[in-house]
Structure 1
Amino acid sequence: MAITLPFNRKAVLAALVITAAAATTVTVPGTAEAQSGSRICGNYWEARANGKTVGIIAKVLEVPKVDFGICLRVIDKTNSISGRSLPGYNGTVTWNPRHAMRSWTCEEAGDLFNDKYGNDPCLDMNRVDLIGQVANRTPRELSQVY
């Protein structure tokens, strides 16, 4: 014997959908639109002169949060600075071994540059959405002299 309820199925489903939407709006914090679906991948190196760290340089690209191997391809693409000098530093530097940046947030990149580079190091990133695009994108270079 079936139990009869005083409301119909459509009304219950509609109420559940409205409740779920309201709960999601309240519990999910807002994020910046340009960064909400992205992460940063690439490499960075510390510049040394006279036994001290005098600066830093990074080569990075923006990738989707779920990158399906794109980040590893970007790390491989940006793995060398080929004897470069440190922009803004007068003198010769040696470079520490590279450090991979795998799926970093913009805030983590800002912390790497002690938040001195600018308000947001991600503003002018080149985004890579498909693994085949990695070869055609130019990495963004960030540098800072301490």
Structure 2
Amino acid sequence: MERAAAQIGAKVRKQEEKAPTPSGPVEQQFPFGATWILADLGGKSIGGDAPSFNLDDKLRAVGFGGCNTFSMSLYPIKEQKLAAGSIAMTRKTCGKEIDDTEHTMLVTLHSLPKWHLESNGDLTVSGVGGTLRFKRGL
């Protein structure tokens, strides 16, 4: 009886050794210090002065929403999400289309969105406001 239990135990250990270890998707490192320029919002191209932001290594995002400048704390966290602090911004109005784009971008960045660096170097951010695709600036 003991010998049978030992043989079963040895078989189980062998199977565990052969079993592949689970590996989920590899988390990417957020590229601090890069300037990101909004290329499209939900597949719709952005015209005019494109919104942009830069996230430094002190986790401070500063940017331009298309009409107003803004700053906020922005933290890349597990599962490739972004957690945001309060937004400080100027309060100009520049017309419905520009104001709506700015609002959507800031709501999306502030909604605990998921982010992903694409193979072509673009940054995609998806959250409550929609999907934002940024191109890396100079």
Which bracket does the TM-score occupy, shorter chain normalised?
0.3 to 0.5
By relative contact order (CA 8 Å, sep 6+), the higher-ranking structure is: 1
Richer in strand (by share): 2
